Amino acid sequence: MRNPDRDAQIAHNLAVWFGRAARDLPWRRTRDPYRIWLSEVMLQQTRVDTVIPYYERFLERFPTVRALAEANLDDVLALWAGLGYYSRARSLQRAAQQMVERHNAEVPRDPAALRDLAGIGPYTAGAVSSIAFNLPEPLVDGNVARVLARVHKVESDIKSPEAQEIFWQSAARLVRADPAVPPSVLNQALMELGALLCTPTRPACGMCPLEKLCKARIENITETLPITAPRAKPKPANIVSAVVWHAGKVLLARRKAQGLFGGMWEPPLFEAASLENARPFFEPFLFPVTELRIVTRKPLRHVLSHRSLAVHVAAAALSTPPPETTFTQLPDPYDRSEWAAPATLAGGLSALAIKILGAAPDPGAPLVLSPSAAKPARASHRKT
């Protein structure tokens, strides 16, 4: 597969095409490594058009590594709410704190130092090193893997170690193949080609700068590549959630920082076969659980990457004030609970929490929450 002339031709064609076809995106108007790093983290699993307003709001609030490092985690998560995969936001802040501790509050140039930071793997390190610092570091994301699987006719599962090895080796050669093509351009062009032309179905080969070099195109097998092994179906889970209102406030619980939806607020919810089975889990929140009644005729459906949730919402409206819970009483996965007006916490609510509150609104007032926070952004790989 090693062919320096072919690699140089691919790099040259990609660069020429990128020069005229590249989209104008906010993170392409800067060389600020902090901004480029932030965009790369937000773009994982999430579409470009979804990311843009989040990216702009986030930078307005946290314009520097130091500002992010010193922020309250609740505020960081509030600005992330709706983007999904909240562990990315927690790791982002942890890495910013490590940059303050180790790198004078700057994004390091050294790829090894980057990979040593929280949440930064080979892809993100390659993206920041090449795009922000123009270093000849490779990167492979879902788009790049698809392009390379077709260009080189890789016939093993796109996620298999042998295929990944081929992609990374090829990306490492390409980023150095033509000295006239800057690494920043080469890597962005590869990703852009996967986003715009070499799409999962019906790739636009007639417009592709690699048409004459691409083995899948030459052999007319573009629709059969890349090979993807069937994914395991998300496992079903039955969930019961309690929405309890009192005087315009609802009982919300915060999930512990580690784990699914870590640090986010929601009406308490537990995996249980029925409301009766769930009542003991609700007791530590110190409201009269006997008042709970199921209000959803059909369970709400909420699909995560590994789990398919059927959520039954039970509601109660209390006329007398309940006692405050104490933090030590709360069952896993919660570390804190509060009676709160949900609109004040809209940013810190997960999309599932907003769905649940929508099914059992305050009987005394209509519920208004940000629609952007209500829209989860899910996908299996970096999106276009």
Binding site for ligand SF4 (CB under 6 A): 147, 150-151, 197-198, 203-205, 208, 210-211, 214, 216-217, 222
Token look-up 């999430």 returns: 46
Spatial CA neighbour of 143 closest among 44, 49, 29, 33: 44
Taking CB atoms within 8 Å and a gap of at least 24, the contacts of 21-30 are 21/192, 21/196, 22/188, 22/189, 22/192, 23/48, 23/192, 23/196, 25/52, 26/52, 26/55, 26/56, 27/55, 28/188
Q: How many CA atoms lie within 13 A of 162 on its CB side?
A: 5
User: 294 to each of 14, 168, 252, 276, how far by Cα in Å?
Assistant: 57, 52, 18, 11
> For residue 258, which amino acid is it?
Q
Annotated active-site residue in 40, 137, 192, 266:
40
Q: Minimum distance between the CB of residue 208 and ligand SF4, rounded to whole angstroms?
A: 3
Min. distance of Cβ 10 from ligand SF4 in angstroms? Answer: 9
User: In this structure, are strands 293-294 and 307-317 parallel, antiparallel, or unpaired?
Assistant: antiparallel
Helix axes 161-177, 183-196, angle to 10 degrees: 130
For CA atoms 18, 157, 211, 13, give the dihedral sign: positive
Q: What are phi and psi of 25, to 5 degrees?
A: -120, 150
The strand pairing partners of 46, in sequence order, are none
Residues in the chain: 384
Nearer to ligand SF4, 77 or 175 (CB): 175
Task: Confirm if 230 and 236 have CB atoms less than 8 A apart.
Answer: no
Beta carbon of residue 5, minimum distance to ligand SF4 (angstroms, whole number): 18
Task: Compute the least distance from the CB of residue 193 to ligand SF4, in Å.
Answer: 6
Whichever of 204 and 365 has its CB closer to ligand SF4, that residue is 204
Residue with Cβ nearer ligand SF4 (217 or 246): 217
Residue indicated by tokens 């009676």 = 339
Q: Does 40 participate in catalysis according to the annotation?
A: yes
Q: Is the Cβ of residue 213 or residue 318 nearer to ligand SF4 in the bound state?
A: 213
Read out DSSP for 80-101? Answer: HTTS--THHHHHHHHHHHHHHH
CB of 104 to ligand SF4, least distance (A): 42
Closest separation in Å from C-beta 155 to ligand SF4: 14
Residue 103: name the closest of 147, 37, 45 by CA.
Answer: 37
CB closer to ligand SF4 out of 95 and 151: 151
- Minimum distance from CB of 283 to ligand SF4 (Å)? 58
Smaller CB distance to ligand SF4: residue 212 or 231? 212
Q: Specify the residue for token string 């490779």.
A: 138
Task: Give CA angle at 180 (176, 185), nearest 5°.
Answer: 70
For residues 313 and 296, is the Cβ–Cβ distance under 8 A?
yes
Q: How far apart are alpha carbons 24 and 203 in whole angstroms?
A: 22
Indicate which residues carry an active-site annotation: 40
